[in-house]
Amino acid sequence: MVRRSRRGKANGGDGANRPGAWVWGRRAVFETLRAGRWPIRDLWLADRIDEPEVIEVQKLARAWDVDVVIEPAESLAERCQNRDHQGFLARVGEFPYEDPEQLLTGSGVGGAGSALFLLLDSVQDPFNLGAIIRSAEVFGVSGVFVSGDHQAPVTGHVARSSAGAINHVRVARAGNLVTLVMQLRRAKVQVLGAAADGARPAREYDLAGPVAIVLGNEGYGVGGDVMDICDGRIGIEQRGNVESLNAAVAAGVLLYETDRQRRMREATGDD
């Protein structure tokens, strides 16, 4: 059902007072609806949205039993305190993190497959996290593990900067990254810590088999206790003068190299 609100700010009856997080932006909202993982409680569209898109959103929203409410764009900005909503706004419930053990089992760890994991050690910036998740989805990462006291949670900012990819990537909270690294190594997964100093270039590693790449905090990198038990330090060759790449850019480069090696192996038929 499509409902038009005559008020700039809704109250009570349309769920405006219910707690929840905001997801905004066309792609982020569409992917949240399509994936069907992140529970949607309320849904608004700006009155400037074309009718075909309104009909498509309404069709997807039926699965959630949620009405599509049409309001002025200014009202959507008031709700989420962000004017960059593109006319699409959803209130969502708690993000559905995966169970860590089920994520490992479902990714074929210890089997014949070539699982690819990202382990994030206290990535603080939600925009970095979203961009990392977007790269993870593009390059077929099996799962992302987040850990650390200062780790950014999955929020609307993450959903927006991931262009909705957060809905298609399996994300789990790792209680202890050291324990997870040891578990992966016992399962014959190569674990490599991203580093700017003392690292071998990514192209020198064999990344076509099961591998996990650890990315660290934007300020101090991968924690020493985690780096010490990794199989190696992986880096990116540079020509410029800046000290290192942004965490999200580094993730994209490392995942691209991993995917490149895997495609080459598939093309040649090498085991």
Tens-place pLDDT, residues 170-184: 999 998 999 999 999
Instruction: Place domain 100-268 in its CATH homologous superfamily.
Output: SPOUT methyltransferase, trefoil knot domain (3.40.1280.10)
pLDDT of 220 reads: 87
Residue 11 confidence class, pLDDT cut points 50, 70, 90 = very low
**How many alpha carbons lie under 13 Å from residue 54 in its C-beta half-sphere?**
18
Q: What pLDDT does residue 16 have? A: 40
| Annotation: CATH topology of 2-92 | 60s Ribosomal Protein L30; Chain: A; (3.30.1330)
Q: Where are the domains of the chain?
A: 2-92, 100-268
pLDDT confidence of residue 10: 37
Question: What local confidence, expressed as pLDDT, does residue 15 receive?
Answer: 40
Confidence check: pLDDT of 206 > 60: yes
Task: Look at residue 169 in the predicted model and tell me its pLDDT.
Answer: 96
Pick from 21-30, 126-135, 147-156: least confident: 147-156
User: What is the structure's pLDDT at 215?
Assistant: 96
Q: What is the pLDDT of residue 244?
A: 72
pLDDT cut 90: percent of the chain above it: 75
Q: What value does the mean pLDDT take over residues 85-94?
A: 94
Confidence (pLDDT) at 153: 92
Compute the mean pLDDT over every residue in the chain, rounded to the nearest whole number.
Answer: 88
What confidence category does residue 128 fall into, taking pLDDT thresholds of 50, 70 and 90?
very high
Quick check: 69 pLDDT over 70? yes
Write down the residue that tokens 């932006």 correspond to.
25
Are β-strands 88-92 and 21-24 bridged in parallel, bridged antiparallel, or unpaired?
Answer: antiparallel
